[in-house]
Amino acid sequence: MSNLKLFITGHKGFETPHFHELRGILSVCDAIINRQYGGVEVQGGIECVYLICLHSRLSNRVFCELAQFNANDEDALYKAVYAIDWSEHLTSRNSFAVSATLSRSNLDHTHYASLKVKDAIVDQFRDKVGSRPVIEKQQPDLHIHLNIHRNQAQLSLDLSGESLHRRGYRVEHAGAPLKEHLAASMIAQAGWNAESAKDHRFVDPMCGSGTFAIEAAMIAANIAPGLDRSYYGFSKWLQHDPELWQSCIEQAEVQIDTAAAPLIEASDYDAKALKVAKANAARAGVEELIQFSHQNINDLKLEDDPRPAIVLCNPPYGERLQSEQGLASLYSAIGSALKQLKSARLFMISANPDLLHRLRMKRTFRKSVKNGPLECLFAGFDLEVDGSEKKVSTGKDSSTKDKVADENEEVIKPLLNRLHKNAKHLQRWAKRNDVTCYRVYDADLPEFSFALDVYQSEISPDTRWYHLQEYQAPKTIEVDVAAQRIEWAKVAVQKAFDIDQTQLFCKTRQRQRGDRQYQKQDNQGELFQVREGAASLLINLSDYLDSGLFLDHRITRERVKQMAKDKSVLNLFCYTGSVGVQAALGGARRVVNVDMSATYLKWAEENHAVNGFLKNGGVDFIRANAIDLLDRPERFEVDKDFDIIFLDPPSFSNSAKMADTLDIQRDHASLIGNAMKLLNRKGILLFSTNRRKFKLDDHLMSLFDVKNISRDTIPEDFKRRPGIHQCWEIRHRAHG
């Protein structure tokens, strides 16, 4: 089974970080990854199974689908299971176990359904070889799982064998500890990873059996969580490849960062719990990376260190607030104790959300989470003092920033005032309209010629990134003067929004020709996930001039979404595919994305996958020069009956991939004319350009119904610069 269909479960509520974790783990494999309800679907080889079992911190189980079938009754179930060739998976000398989950089906007894599966497997071996495998509930050679929903059955192998949260280090525990994969999910949501561990500290002031601290240390040192597990569900599977598995183990061992030296502090008032935590850390091999201390929260003393802190806390639970006065005091003590940190963000899981106000911190994030049977709230906070908001910086450069601002107060003051004024208006507008990514400044002051966009993380909504794009200074401005102004601008942005340099990304925008508009400016390769309406979209703020999302087309994309129900959509010059994503979310029957850049087409595929739309599942991606495709659509097997065509070409291109140059003013009439040949008689073409002083060919207006919708498609955050783009709706004439 070289091409396996896998379904990986994680903890409910953390689907997005789980998806991104698996995407990173499987980047070395030729795998198709798709986020589904309840987990992540992966199509790939057995190496995917090994890498997930070894490296995934957020996964729970890895299921490998064997068959899908209708199971209206016990006979249908038995026959379908018997029809599978079980000799491909185990021998009569092996052991196996069967589990089942049933919902809204004729078969409604899990134990009985499991017995029918067992009987079918046992009977097949008896009929073929005269002997049968045995049933073993504890660590069987093969674990088979049956899921039936509305009489549709799915039979799978549980290749993890048992839940992946069992790393092997937690032999003992104190009280009711968090499962390791839930703890790791919270840590990922909080932003602690191998990179942030280099310039942040990690604090757990109520560590219990040490799960948060141990998981944080393993992340910092890149210790694969599955290395110490002795049992996996694939170990005795006949499709298992021991040599490949051993190679994966050796590679994981090589990747451990033996030089890692994170600052991780874990404390607890309970000496017995602390002893358990230290023993667990020793088994995990991270005891040297954690500073354990026996402390009461009321007397908490933390190491004096300038690094911003990520604090995770799982305080004791109380079922009834009225009888938990001690617990209420505890929450107040936590808030007071953390005030000693110069810069911190707290993430807490609580079964008592009514007590969270006692922290006296600004809540920036919340998510409902189940911890075992308990309904809890996982929340994030920034520090507050005496109930007043105090934004916490997360960088090291605040003193330098303030010093530069003070020394150049008169120069920077007008820019600071304008940034504050714009932000005050746009933040209110964005909140009312559920806009999370918008332009907050666009060369409003001539001496500070730059655009500034703000992007809010979808994964961690309290996190925002600022994208500063410097416009090329006029030739009349000396180079040194222009460089000094942009440095002042950076300081002003950091001061105005109280951010550090890690949240600010700066680019210089010049006239771009040909491939230069797509060329990398850096090679960090980090994609951030943001939200636009119902769409999740991936942006890159470091490597390219543009982020991958043209914010001025927010309304245009929404128009496509609103029109797309049951329609076929052609997205030409698709860039990173955001228009195609919105069309698919709008219920488009078919979406075809076209671009000649392999990099951007791959990015477009990932944008669609993040939203649950896979290639060939009603969504297609064609790598082609859109001009060639419009000239010869039959060569690319493109039909001529699209309901919606989106056409937003670059203003100019002389890419080496093109036979001729593209000048949108010169060539737009032929582009539009050819595109209209692919549009059905009732369809609509949306044409847009950001070419300054562009004029639409008058001849087009005599051939088609043309409506200028530029004013209607300029969003609020771009109204200071209404010429950012022009846009038209073009239709065939009714009598044509």
Residue with tokens 């006239």: 511
Ramachandran bin of 165, using left for φ above 0, alpha for ψ from -120 to 50, beta for the remaining angles: alpha
User: Which pLDDT value is given to residue 415?
Assistant: 94
Q: What is the CATH number of the domain that holds 446?
A: 3.30.750.80
What residue type is assigned to position 472 of the chain? Q
Size of the chain in residues: 736
Report phi then psi at 244, rounded to 5: -65, -40
Alpha-carbon separation of residue 656 from 513, 622, 625 (angstroms): 11, 18, 11
- Do 306 and 194 share a structural domain? yes
Distance CA 592, CA 574 (A): 9
Write down which residue in 369, 389, 409 finishes a domain.
389
Q: Which two tokens stand for residue 479?
A: 């180079």
Q: What's the count of helices (H) and strands (E) in the chain, helices before strands?
A: 18, 31
The whole domain housing 415 covers 398-510
**Cα–chain center distance at 635:** 36
Distance CA 578, CA 603 (A): 10
- Do 130 and 94 share a structural domain? yes
Q: Which two tokens stand for residue 563?
A: 């029109």
Report strand pairing: 652-653 vs 528-532: unpaired
Short-list 211, 234, 303, CA closest to 265 = 303
Short-list 550, 718, 566, 569, CA closest to 649 = 550
Answer yes or no: is 149 within a domain: yes
What residue ranges in 480-589 does DSSP mark as E strands? 504-509, 528-532, 535-539, 568-572
Report phi then psi at 734, rounded to 5: -60, -35
- Do 300 and 263 share a structural domain? yes
Q: What is the CATH number of the domain that holds 119?
A: 3.30.2130.30
- Do 650 and 625 share a structural domain? yes
Q: Taking CA 172 as the corner, what is the angle to CA 318 and CA 375, rounded to the nearest 5 degrees?
A: 30
- Do 264 and 198 share a structural domain? yes
User: Which pLDDT value is given to residue 402?
Assistant: 58
User: Which pLDDT value is given to residue 317?
Assistant: 74
Contacts of 331 (CB under 8 A, 6+ apart): 315, 352, 355, 356, 358, 359
CB 528 within 8 A of CB 457: yes
Answer yes or no: is 309 within a domain: yes
**Beta bridge partner(s), residue 35:** 40
- Do 441 and 575 share a structural domain? no
Chunked into runs of 10 residues, the chain (736 residues) has average pLDDT values of 88 91 92 87 96 98 97 96 97 97 93 96 97 94 96 97 94 77 96 94 96 98 95 97 97 95 96 94 96 95 93 76 57 91 92 79 85 88 52 43 61 92 96 96 90 88 87 70 85 90 74 42 62 93 85 97 97 97 97 94 90 85 94 88 96 63 91 96 96 94 96 95 94 79
**Per-residue burial over 200-212, b = 16 or more CB atoms within 10 Å of its CB, e = otherwise:** bbbbbbbbbbbbb
Answer yes or no: is 520 within a domain: no
Q: What is the CATH number of the domain that holds 306?
A: 3.40.50.150
- Do 670 and 557 share a structural domain? yes
User: Which pLDDT value is given to residue 458?
Assistant: 83
Report phi then psi at 130, rounded to 5: 80, 5
Q: Identify the burial level of 193 via C-beta atoms within 10 angstroms of its C-beta, where 0-12 means exposed, 13-18 middle and 19 or more buried.
A: middle
**Beta bridge partner(s), residue 382:** 345, 362
Report phi then psi at 686, rounded to 5: -105, 115
**Cα–chain center distance at 444:** 33
- Do 194 and 48 share a structural domain? no
DSSP state at residue 736: -
End-to-end CA distance of the chain: 55
CA dihedral 162, 166, 171, 172 (to 10 degrees): -120
Q: Which two tokens stand for residue 332?
A: 């107040």
Answer yes or no: is 230 within a domain: no
Answer yes or no: is 246 within a domain: no
- Do 306 and 186 share a structural domain? yes
Answer yes or no: is 174 within a domain: no
Short-list 568, 576, 579, CA closest to 606 = 576
User: Which pLDDT value is given to residue 526?
Assistant: 61
Number of domains in the chain: 4
User: Which pLDDT value is given to residue 373?
Assistant: 84
User: Which pLDDT value is given to residue 675?
Assistant: 96
- Do 561 and 670 share a structural domain? yes
CB 430 within 8 A of CB 456: no
- Do 154 and 27 share a structural domain? yes
Answer yes or no: is 80 within a domain: yes
**Beta bridge partner(s), residue 670:** none
- Do 497 and 463 share a structural domain? yes
Answer yes or no: is 707 within a domain: yes
Q: Please state, as a whole number, how many other Cβ atoms lie within 10 Å of the Cβ of residue 400.
A: 13
Distance CA 361, CA 385 (A): 7
Q: Coil, helix or strand for 534?
A: coil
